Amino acid sequence: MKKILLLLSAAIFVSTLFAQAPAGYYDYAQGQTGAQLKTTLFNIIKGHTSVSYTPGIWVAFETTDKKDNGKVWDIYSDVPGGTPAYEWTFGTDQCGTYSGEGSCYNREHSFPKSWFNDASPMYTELFHIYPTDGYVNGQRGNYPYGEVNSASWTSTNGSKVGSNSTSGYSGTVFEPIDEYKGDLARTYFYMATRYEDVIQNWNSEVLDGSKYPVYVEWQLELLISWHENDPVSQKEIDRNNAIYALQHNRNPYIDHPEYVAAVWGSVTTSPIIGNVSTNPAAPEPNVAVVVSASITDNGTLSQVTLKWGTETGVLSNTIPMQANGSLYTATIPAQAAGTRVYYQITAVDNDQETGVSSEYSYYLSAFDGTIQLPINEDFESGDMGIFTAVNVTGTSQYWASYSYSGNLMAKMSGYDYGAVPNEDWLLTPLIDFNSYTSETMSFRTAMNYPDDASTTFQAMYSTNYSGSGDPNAANWTDLSSQANWSTGGYVFVESGTIDLSTIVGDAVTIAFKYANTSTAAESWELDDVIISGTPVNTGLYELGLQKVSIYPNPTTSWVQLNGELANDTRILIFNYLGQLQLEENLKNTSNHQVYVGSLKAGIYILQLDSKELGTQNIRLIIQ
């Protein structure tokens, strides 16, 4: 039999465009501006994992730059809202040589590699390498980005080569189409930040030879203008997440567009909104949330409002923000568990110029640390499944996965080249028994090397175990007398149905305890643990039964999802306090990797949420 889903105690449904950086990723950047903020961001994103140039970059493009139709997303040939003259197929259309536009795609260093002398790790830095038409890439060459009035050459999608038309530089430049100007500006701000320790030694007409502000005045003003006029798109968000899965760092100017103004200022005279945050930082259900922001302007602010709602783009609630110097605050009323709240700040000055922040959101988790029934644990995942193994005494003997004749089970052997007294527990997560009636449990056991009274193997429950630490700190009730047990020879015996209906509690732990008090050493095997009950509330959320596995688990850095997945699947990772730690869109339904190396060691719930397939929750261990 296969494991039935581990369910959370309440429904969690998320509908949002924006994936988030891991909780706490930008904590050290709070309240900073200018060069100090840029240096703090450098320390957050430095030391990334580099991929190889071949085949690493080519392979990376298949997740970082893939259109919805499966084709290569080439910013030098794409026609937003229209039909491009040509499209590329991954792998098949790689350059090679090209005879003209439409021949093949190659690897465009949007920040020309000659500027940093082809050095590493910049040479394979995914954030500034884009797949582009090889011929157009050649036309761009090493020219800076700029704006062109009279083009000497124009691509099929309107990218241009010609003399720069903005004040401060009259040399030849390359101008991409408007749709991707903000993307490339935020790429350049990333490069100035990620490589602030070496960029002052690079050679280009757009660099000023410093680590701050990095760019000469005309280029900096142009980049800021592009950033402000072409806001962050879903394409950039998805690309940021995909690169994060490979390089394990992020572009802060995509996650927090306001950081651009906070570091370099603005070319507009409209109000600048920065350092947007919530208090508490990880809001909880049914608690009011204070939103704050630093807002500056060269004039007088006449109106600052916070708009919020529970659907992205539908912010129908408006609250005036209160000022304390340049700090503005407003309070969003408490919302129920399972709600995502979206909010945005608008500031208007006395010249009627308006500044608008990005749309932010926070999620009020419905996960309270307990799980729902039924539990059907067959240990076929190759670990302890939903159970947590706790070793109290004995250093070499512990619960482990064991396979016999193709069947996986949990095994505790008291013998390992000798036997010593030891005590080991298998514990379920907390279960809300108050949500059920007629609860029962059954399991199968096999035993060998019986040693009479020196070894005990018990089924127990507690209503006051904290969920972690030494189980002996809690009170336990023995259920063993209700069960049938194996008597030896590794012969499996069905326990029969154990009545749990008299248990009352909203945080109940079921445990199997192995203990031996001498050098004798029975071996016990446990399999097919089923705990079920009848819901008191027949309206409990019905979750889909997807068949998805994760590997490796435990892990230190990444997990791979394999199985039945839908394109609309959201990936959410919660800690056991119910706080959302990581969230992203699924990008590859056949073989998707999620980077979790930024999370602290511990036990988590990885949730897959899909309108098409329902929801699956998987216990994840990060070491």
Tell me what pLDDT residue 45 has: 96
- In the chain, which segments carry CATH 2.60.120.200? 373-535
Confidence of residue 13 (pLDDT cuts 50, 70, 90): very low
CATH of the structural domain 373-535, one choice from 3.30.420.10, 2.40.50.140, 2.60.120.200, 2.60.40.10:
2.60.120.200
Confidence of residue 486 (pLDDT cuts 50, 70, 90): very high
Q: Identify the bridge partners of residue 526 per DSSP, sorted by sequence position.
A: 410, 445
Tell me what pLDDT residue 298 has: 80
Confidence of residue 358 (pLDDT cuts 50, 70, 90): confident
Q: Which residues contact 474 (CB under 8 A, 6 or more apart)?
A: 462, 464, 465, 466, 509
What is the spatial distance between Cα 591 and Cα 273, in angstroms, rounded to a whole number? 40
What is the spatial distance between Cα 556 and Cα 194, in angstroms, rounded to a whole number? 24
- Domain 543-622 class? mainly beta
* Listed residue (436, 429, 442, 440) closest to 500, CA to CA: 440
Q: What is the DSSP letter of 28?
A: G
Query: Which secondary-structure segment (H or E) carries 190?
Result: helix 181-194
Tell me what pLDDT residue 11 has: 28
Q: DSSP string covering 423-447, please?
A: EEEEEPPEE-GGGEEEEEEEEEEEE
pLDDT tens for residues 451-483? 767 789 999 999 999 888 899 999 999 999 999
What is the spatial distance between Cα 522 and Cα 319, in angstroms, rounded to a whole number? 67
* Arithmetic mean of pLDDT, 88-101: 93
Q: Which of 157-166, 319-328, 607-616 has the lowest mean pLDDT?
A: 607-616
What is the spatial distance between Cα 368 and Cα 578, in angstroms, rounded to a whole number? 5
The backbone torsions φ and ψ at residue 615, rounded to the nearest 5 degrees and listed phi first, read -130, 140
Tell me what pLDDT residue 281 has: 77
What is the pTM (predicted TM-score) of this model?
0.61
260 neighbors 186 (Cβ within 8 angstroms)? yes
- In the chain, which segments carry CATH 2.60.40.10? 268-358
pLDDT tens for residues 255-307? 999 899 889 988 777 888 888 889 987 788 899 999 999 898 888 999 999 99
Q: How do strand 580-585 and strand 570-575 relate by DSSP bridges? A: antiparallel
Query: Which secondary-structure segment (H or E) carries 245?
Result: helix 234-247
- In the chain, which segments carry CATH 2.60.40.3080? 543-622
Number of C-beta neighbours around residue 387 at 10 A: 23
Summary mean pLDDT of the chain: 87
557 versus 326: the higher-pLDDT residue is 326
404 versus 5: the higher-pLDDT residue is 404
Q: What is the DSSP letter of 224?
A: H
pLDDT at 200 over 80: yes
Q: What is the DSSP letter of 110?
A: S
Cα torsion 77, 78, 83, 89 to 10°: value is 80
CATH 3.90.1150.10 fits 268-358, yes or no: no
